[in-house]
Structure 1
Amino acid sequence: MRFSLVAAGLLGFAITHPVEKRQALPPVDSMTDESILQLALYLEHLELVLYTSGYENFSDTEYTAAGFPAGFRENVGVIASHEATHAATISSILEAAGYSPVPPCTYKFPYDSPTSFVNLANMITSVGIGAYLGGAQNLTDDPTLLTAASSILTVEARHDSYLRAGVGGSPFPTAFDTALTGVYAYNLAQMFIK
């Protein structure tokens, strides 16, 4: 009985406090790796600005009035901080390999309410997830790099689930996500670049 109580306590801690482990930066062993990472960074910059604006442009009261649960705006801010960490990490990986990371762009986002922001964020995050999936099949030079990208992908999937639940959608609408080619993901994101 004591073991199961301890195990249950550890499981509860693991669920509420995922392990975050920092390791040495993975190598970028090919132009394919670099191209995939540059696209990932391009999308992370876009998401960072999107989530930051969704946090800054609406108050807690506006989110609540739109039907979102208490604390939703705060979690949008947490997502923005995750995107900042993702962008900084990918930039560091590229710089350590001798590449110049793509800079952020100037963006335009077509939303005017918390609900239209969350619907847009859900769509953009889904594109990011598809791009990570599509790129993963080509990150085969070094398993460390694949693991680094996969660890970002799982967090992006949590963001997506949170957004979907926030607008009353299923947090897990399908058994599989769709992988996107780099060109397709890039072109979808282009519509938000000024």
Structure 2
Amino acid sequence: MSYARFLSVVVLASAVCAAPVERQEQSFGPDSQISAQVPTPTVGYPVVVYENGYTSATYHGPYTGTATVTGAANGPETLAASIAPGPPNPTATYYNSEGVPLNPMPAPYTPAGGLGTNGTLPRYMVESDFDFESIALGLYQEWIELDLFHDGLARFSDAEFTAAGLGPEARSLIEFMANQESGHATLLTNMLGERAPKECIYNYPYTTVREWVDFMQRLTRFGESGVWGFINHLDSREVGQLLAQSIATEARQQQVFRQMSGLTPMDVWFENGWPQSWAWTMLAPYISYCPENQTRLVWQNFPTLHILNNANINRFSPNDTSQNGNETVGDRIADPSLSTIPDSASCEYLTGPPGYACEPAVAHNKSEPLSFPGKKILFEWDAPGQAVGPNNSYVTSTNAGSPKFVAWSNQLNLTYSALTLTGNNSGFTYQPEGYVYGDDGIINGTMAVLLTDLDLYVTPFNTSMLNPHVVALGMYQAG
């Protein structure tokens, strides 16, 4: 089968391709104080997003209107406050102790089993409410990446990029990654249909090139981990297949942004998967305005957990924040490390001994790690009830009791440490020690950290069971 004929089969089966779209002025609602030139797809499906280029919105700032709708989307009813743990699936009994096929093979060289392998024509559309809400969340993520990657390229001068160690070829790579997002947005839009979420207006935290790159490595982390958390729970195996092919690119983007930030590109043996509500909690505060009649999401927004002495990736001694206080540029979960620090403390232009510099590089070996087992971590957290997200129309909430534990979600593990309270909404813990396999530490990289009221046992496939016990959610910079 030729490449062209293969593509035609995909088109007929799934509608994952399309015709050009128009650019039009998008109104952001009667309560919005602005109207921005935001290129949006037409209603007809399938669509192609921005095949002839991209024009960034002229406004990137906070929402200034009054929300007319609040809270997450809801269904006809909610059946229970949480999902009770159960035994293994009764059909999970297969075990092969012989190393050869145990059942008749349906075709030559084809072992029995597998899903979607019986010759049925693939349908590349969501198949359940779970699928729709998950892919809609993924599309919100693709939209912000499309805008974010372009925004820094437009905002900063060539001189500022050069000073940050990023020359024309690096900027060209970022532009290519931005263009990748137009393809991802096209794919997810067509798998959802006419109620696919549209692009919004965003409110970014950075003021320098290094802060922009740092923010992108954090944002692509929760974008990637948010998909790994739900992809194998999708009812549509076909949707999961195409989503996996896009998220593999997202992983490469996160690695590149880490390299541009002077961080180790591959810091873990296993990437971590996060439930959708964790990813939405991290993403929503950076969305300012969305169009009228925008499709709303069902996922929860947890209160923010502020890590007061998170490592500053711009310091040659990143843990000095324990003496200097919070060194992020703002109060939102994924806000980047502050880069405007004294030159005497900065690792950006360091010419001293090896192991301390942080200029863009294929890899760095750090003489002083960004964090370490036993480090005392200081927390403050918000009360629920805060207005966040598009048009300030979502509200943070928790179903948990008083916080007792700190949950560290990384690699294959969900690890707990004890929380010591120092006030109504403050406390501390110590970074735990342990290993996944061999000398692979359980805590490394850009990762999720949570306060919980229970040390519930969960594994990578059922981490969402923890959601009813989450008090607050944050992002920890461990390496």
Counterpart residue number, 1:3: none
Counterpart residue number, 2:143: 45
Q: Which has the higher helix share?
A: 1
Q: Does 1:124 align with 2:219?
A: yes
Is contact 1:134–1:180 with CA below 8 Å preserved after alignment?
A: yes
Measure how far apart 1:32 and its partner are. 1.0
Given candidates 155, 160, 170, the residue that maps to 2:264 is: 170
Q: Does 1:105 align with 2:203?
A: no
Q: Does 1:59 align with 2:154?
A: no
Change (3 A) 1:71 1:147: same
**Aligned runs of 1:66-145 on 2, under 5 Å?**
66-95=164-193, 99-139=194-234, 141-145=235-239
Measure how far apart 1:61 and its partner are. 3.3
Counterpart residue number, 1:147: 241
Is contact 2:131–2:236 with CA below 8 Å preserved after alignment?
A: no
Which is higher, the Rg of structure 1 or of structure 2?
2
Measure how far apart 1:117 and its partner are. 0.2
Measure how far apart 1:143 and its partner are. 2.4
Letter in 1 for 2:267: P
Compare relative contact order (CA 8 Å, sep 6+) and give the higher one, 1 or 2: 1
Q: 1:97-155 CA distances to partner (integer Å, 9 max, x unpaired)?
A: xx50112221110111111000000000001001110121211x332211101001100
CA distance in 2, matches of 1:61, 1:163: 19
Aligned-partner SS, 1:102:
coil
Q: Which has the higher strand share?
A: 2
CA distance in 2, matches of 1:52, 1:189: 18
Percent of aligned positions that are identical: 26
Letter in 2 for 1:56: A
Question: Which stretches of structure 1, 4 residues or longer, exceed 6 Å deviation after superposition?
Answer: none
Measure how far apart 1:183 and its partner are. 0.8
TM-score under structure 1 length normalisation:
0.82
Counterpart residue number, 2:125: 27
Q: 1:60-92 CA distances to partner (integer Å, 9 max, x unpaired)?
A: 432221122541111111111111111121111
Measure how far apart 1:93 and its partner are. 1.3
Is contact 1:28–1:94 with CA below 8 Å preserved after alignment?
A: yes
CA distance in 2, matches of 1:147, 1:89: 12
Measure how far apart 1:59 and its partner are. 3.4
Number of residue pairs matched by the alignment: 170
| More displaced 10-residue stretch of structure 1: 151-160 or 58-67 | 58-67
Letter in 2 for 1:57: R
Aligned-partner SS, 1:121:
helix
Aligned-partner SS, 1:145:
helix
CA distance in 1, matches of 2:225, 2:138: 11
Is contact 2:142–2:185 with CA below 8 Å preserved after alignment?
A: yes
CA distance in 2, matches of 1:172, 1:115: 19
CA distance in 1, matches of 2:248, 2:240: 12
CA distance in 2, matches of 1:73, 1:46: 18
CA distance in 2, matches of 1:160, 1:142: 26
Measure how far apart 1:52 and its partner are. 1.1
Counterpart residue number, 2:318: none
Q: 1:151-175 CA distances to partner (integer Å, 9 max, x unpaired)?
A: 0110000111111111111111111
CA distance in 2, matches of 1:87, 1:60: 28
Is contact 2:191–2:239 with CA below 8 Å preserved after alignment?
A: no
TM-score under structure 2 length normalisation:
0.34
Gaps of 5+ in 2: 1-5, 15-123, 289-479
Aligned-partner SS, 1:71:
helix
Is contact 1:39–1:186 with CA below 8 Å preserved after alignment?
A: yes
**Aligned runs of 1:176-191 on 2, under 5 Å?**
176-191=270-285
Alignment root-mean-square deviation, CA: 1.5
Counterpart residue number, 1:161: 255
Gaps of 5+ in 1: 1-20
Letter in 1 for 2:253: H
CA distance in 1, matches of 2:157, 2:171: 7
